[in-house]
Structure 1
Amino acid sequence: MNHSDTVPSEGESSPIHEPRLWRDKGWTARVLKNEDGDGWAVEMIREGSTEPALVGPWTMGRNKVDPKPLDATAHQTLVKTAAEVIRRHEQQLHAQLNKQVTVEVGSDAVTVQLVITPDEYEPFGTLTAVGQFGDVLATVKVRPDFRLTRESGLQWATGGFGKIR
């Protein structure tokens, strides 16, 4: 047996393998009674997080009263599903905070990029124009609610990349 298989890495909790609580490989699966009293649910929490990444229905056991016990296979499947949920959420957030359009300015293609920095107190956007060979032509700070469209990017580029109010 490999030593790393038995000793949790730094910052990782010790594994727990119980019928209703399974913690391993940075994830905790917990089987809970549904709040409406009908059946069971499972929640998956990534280590270091306070909120579950996934909450879903859980299968009844053979006696139709108690939940099916967690096991390594179920935990592995739940980890994959929860990780996919997180990945999709991160992609959606990235898409909300990062946009780009390419516009024609004369005979040049200019890519206009908008990156929103979601600061809790003072969020802001950064608009950057990049030439066709990767050279940064201009960068300005914009309001966090600035809408980058092909038209607004073209106006900024053809207007000389000035400040945007």
Structure 2
Amino acid sequence: MTTAIPDPSQTPGTETETEAATVLHEPRLWRDGGWTAYVMKNEDDDGWAVAMVRDGEPEPALVGPWTMGRDKKNPKPLDTSAFNTLVKTASEVRRRHEQQLHALLHKRVRVNTETLGEIVVTLQIVPNDDDPYALLSAIDALDETLAQIRVTPGFKLNQASAAAWIENDFARMD
């Protein structure tokens, strides 16, 4: 589904960015509680779509089909119930995205050793545009950092790689 997401500052009848926190309830545009819902023409067919944008974010958190009105030409107007449902759905999408990103950037495994006991090895990826890297850390049962080195963001952390790093006295992994 291709839809054009309007720029809030360019949409007729909307406030400027300094007034973005203002509550606005129009049939095709609602702004309330940090969210803005836009109902727009779906460019791919005769239907309508709705986009939910969180204040301050450049991209919509959710874009989906919107119901036709009784005349079968125009969209059904936004109302409190629909807006609240859209906010809930868009918030869930954002939360899942944040959880997925966190899981991609933060990994951890536990390794039991004879001499040091249980060691937690973590990999935290720093997605810097110019110089991405990751930090590999070893933490003991008392939450003390035993070692930390910088590795490539593509480093594969698993039981075997963590155990090998510990067995090699936390030597640099190139």
Structure 1 SS opposite 2:46: coil
**TM-score, normalised to structure 1's length?**
0.91
- Aligned match of 1:160: 169
**TM-score, normalised to structure 2's length?**
0.86
CA distance in 1, matches of 2:104, 2:49: 31
Q: How many residues align?
A: 156
2:90 paired residue among 82, 88, 104: 82
Structure 1 SS opposite 2:72: coil
Q: Aligned pair 1:16/2:16, yes or no?
A: no
Root mean square deviation of aligned Cα: 1.3
Deviations 1:29-54 (A, max 9, x none): 00011111321100000000111100
- Aligned match of 2:5: none
CA distance in 2, matches of 1:104, 1:17: 59
Identity, % of aligned pairs?
52
- Aligned match of 1:142: 151
1:96 paired residue among 104, 124, 142: 104
Q: Aligned partner of 1:144: which letter?
A: P
CA distance in 2, matches of 1:104, 1:119: 33
Q: Where do 5+ consecutive residues of structure 2 fail to align?
A: 1-17
- Aligned match of 2:34: 26
Q: Aligned pair 1:125/2:134, yes or no?
A: yes
CA distance in 2, matches of 1:11, 1:98: 38
CA distance in 2, matches of 1:113, 1:20: 47
